With several copies, the nearest count.
Chain A
């Protein structure tokens, strides 16, 4: 018998060659992209052609972007090993808080927005501290907040409006154009009207372009996805998030300030909810007691479609990004098809399952997992 081979680090004989494609597809988020492509193919072949016009795509992206901002935050929190079921109620509550700051206190828009974020951060921190101090599962703690915040939204709305569950006319009076433009309406309007003028994009009969610009929520969505990805993959905080979710004890033993990381994530999630609340309230000019209903659920779905593990420690922000777009495309896309809306939920469920199955199938195929 010959002695052990003295091979140094040139080429390890125990590694098979893998193609670049395989390497790319191994990233969790790209499975979600595969699912997205499948869903898109389905709609291209069944839906009205107007779905994939510029206006149609913007139309899909706007709900996706609102859901997506929540989904990315939920994904970070899930990677960090916790859930926040109060996101949906937080949207309603911070919407009310924001509305009250603007209409009742008459704060300037910028201040009202800042104050809303502060309230959200405090509530998120409270969630986090309760989870950490009591060592109860975050599921149950934030569930309590789901009810409490939803209830407070109702009480607060009735108090603020004198008995109605709907608050209207928010932002109508304010005219600080700069802040408004960041948080509502559309961006790049000049570009789009130029494009329309040059017949590069579709117009209404009256000459205005069908799409007057990119809704700002989409820009926020993309920006947040990029930021979250950078944080997760390139920063110390990102490493701590993975570690806290992978095994909180091991992370703590290695000197990761797990409690601080988790509290921070809860605050981030609450602030993401506040951002969505501000975007939708300014856009709609109103808020009501049902805003954000079940959004916590949809956000978690989008994150899971995007490859996050429910047990924590694994996932990506870009995955959640694609997950939200899949969800948005399925839910808006069906209205472009000829299916009876009674079948809507059946299709929604089937499409979700297919998207995830396909994502999974592709990943296994490519990585050669058995």
Chain B
């Protein structure tokens, strides 16, 4: 199903410190073409820190980082975008005061005309935004509405639709489904599936083991800044995965108490 050449993204022994806090202490990981790699782990395990390092927001303290087999160092998120890594951050990277359209096209505005009279055709942008949002299951009432007035889930959908629309080689999604309703979640999972089929790599972070298992090909579990291991879907059952994600804590007890519905 997928070609196992050089991975699109590979990291080796990545370490990241914030002042005295050690957020990542030696993480290795690889993502291939046409593969959905799920990154799982407890709160504070370092998942967001890891993907922010991949997308150029943080500079790693040490460690190797290869894109398509070549060493890279990103000095800004723009570098990562240029290298084909598109990211939906957990904190969304949106400007609340700006309109939906302007947020959607932020940093990648299509221009028309010749310099110095180059301009952005915002009518066209509005149409695209409305369209893309509709595809993901949200009727934007008015693309000029400020993003700050959208509901949490609607905002998440803007971020995802944006990343997908400007599709790249690798799509990184940090808990994209956490704020979404059932319908929107299905939509996003379907998107992830489509993206994989187009041959892109996907890194998908989630706390919902069902979502992960529904679309993931491989699962990497982080715990307290370290990898607990990487498993292919065939190697691990959903329950084992769930236990691993929770760090083996006294989960069964609670779960049983509440009727095993978690």
Residues of A within 8 A of B (CB): 1-5, 9, 12-18, 22, 230, 233-236, 238-240, 242-243, 246-247, 249-257, 309, 313-314, 367-370
Contacts and interface: CB of A to CB of B under 8 A. Distances in A.
Contacts of B102: 239, 242-243
B110 to A, nearest CB: 9
Contacts of B59: 370
B22 A255 contact: no
- Nearest 8 interchain pairs by C-beta: A246-B95, A4-B247, A255-B107, A3-B248, A1-B229, A253-B93, A254-B107, A250-B93
Contacts of A4: 42, 223-224, 228, 247-249
Contacts of A2: 228
B127 to A, nearest CB: 12
Contacts of A238: 120
Interface stretch (B3-11, B13-21, B62-70): B13-21
A255 B89 CA distance: 13
Contacts of A236: 109, 111, 118, 120
A30 to B, nearest CB: 15
B124 interface: no
B29 interface: no
Given A14-B141, A234-B120, A255-B77, A239 B248 contact: no
Given A16-B21, A243-B106, 9 more contacts: A4-B249, A12-B139, A15-B20, A15-B141, A18-B19, A234-B122, A239-B109, A247-B95, A249-B93
Contacts of A239: 98, 102, 105-106, 109, 120
A256 B98 CA distance: 14
A243 B98 contact: yes
A367 B92 CA distance: 28
B17 A242 contact: no
B19 A368 contact: yes
B97 interface: yes
Given A14-B25, A236-B118, A251 B19 contact: no
Given A1-B229, A234-B122, A314-B97, A14 B248 contact: no
A256 B120 contact: no
Contacts of B22: 13-16
B96 interface: yes
A232 to B, nearest CB: 11
Interface of B: 17, 19-23, 25, 42, 55, 57, 59, 76-78, 81, 87, 89, 91-98, 102, 105-109, 111, 118-120, 122, 130, 134, 139, 141-142, 221, 223-225, 228-229, 244, 247-249
Contact of B95 (A14, A233, A313): A313
A9 B139 contact: yes
A5 B98 CA distance: 30
Contacts of B23: 14
Contact of B19 (A249, A254, A369): A369
A236 B89 CA distance: 23
A251 B248 contact: no
**Interface-central residue, A5, A230, A235, by most chain B CB under 10 Å:** A235
B119 A235 contact: yes
Contact of B57 (A18, A230, A253): A253
Contacts of B94: 247, 250
Contacts of A367: 19
Nearest to B94: A250
Contacts of B134: 9
A15 B42 CA distance: 18
B111 to A, nearest CB: 6
A251 B107 CA distance: 7
B109 A246 contact: no
A251 B95 contact: yes
A242 B146 CA distance: 12
Contacts of A22: 20
5 contacts: A4-B224, A13-B22, A234-B119, A243-B95, A253-B55
Contact of B228 (A1, A247, A253, A370): A1
A2 B244 CA distance: 10
Contacts of A16: 17, 20-22
**Interface-central residue, B93, B111, B244, by most chain A CB under 10 Å:** B93
A12 B223 contact: no
A253 B89 contact: yes
A202 to B, nearest CB: 40
A15 B17 CA distance: 9
B93 to A, nearest CB: 4
Contact of A257 (B78, B95, B118, B141): B78
A2 B59 CA distance: 29
A252 B74 CA distance: 13
B106 to A, nearest CB: 5
Nearest to A250: B93
A258 B15 CA distance: 27
Contacts of A257: 76, 78
Nearest to A313: B97
A234 B221 CA distance: 42
B60 to A, nearest CB: 11
